[in-house]
Amino acid sequence: MKSRRVILIIFVFLAMVSSAYAHPPSDIKITFDPQTKMLQAVIIHNVSNPGNHYIKKVDLGLNGKEIITQELSRQDNNESQTVHYFIPDAKAQDMLSVEGYCSISGKLEKEIKAQ
């Protein structure tokens, strides 16, 4: 009985410690070139090991409808993940959204209006 409590306490402690290091992206910088129809998003997510703690998924939306989902296996570097997408249907005044998901916990969404 005591050993189960000790194991439970250790498990709870480890869960708390791992979640303390988890955090969502801190910012997303989105640019869209209306001539080439190319969107670039730089997802700011400072981590110590981009192989274990990284941006795992990016969703792209056009006027509130999800049009692209990309799964990632690691982050570009310790500070950010950059993605590029060709959006042929985007027109002036359309809303483009990018949502980045942390591999451990949290997400962030930002949007811009196409010019």
DSSP string spanning 33-84? Answer: ETTTTEEEEEEE---S-TTTSSEEEEEEEETTEEEEEEE-SS-SSSSEEEEE
Q: What is the mean pLDDT of the chain?
A: 89
pTM for this one? 0.81
CA-only gyration radius of the chain, Å: 18
The domains located in the chain, with CATH, are 23-113 (2.60.40.730)
Give the integer Cα–Cα distance in Å for 98 and 23: 17
Q: So what's the pLDDT on residue 102?
A: 97
- Is it the case that residue 17 has pLDDT exceeding 60? no
- Is it the case that residue 81 has pLDDT exceeding 70? yes
Report the pLDDT averaged over residues 60-67: 98
Confidence of residue 7 (pLDDT cuts 50, 70, 90): low
Q: So what's the pLDDT on residue 4?
A: 74
Q: So what's the pLDDT on residue 22?
A: 77
Here the tokens at position 83 are 């993605």
Q: So what's the pLDDT on residue 19?
A: 41
Confidence of residue 5 (pLDDT cuts 50, 70, 90): confident
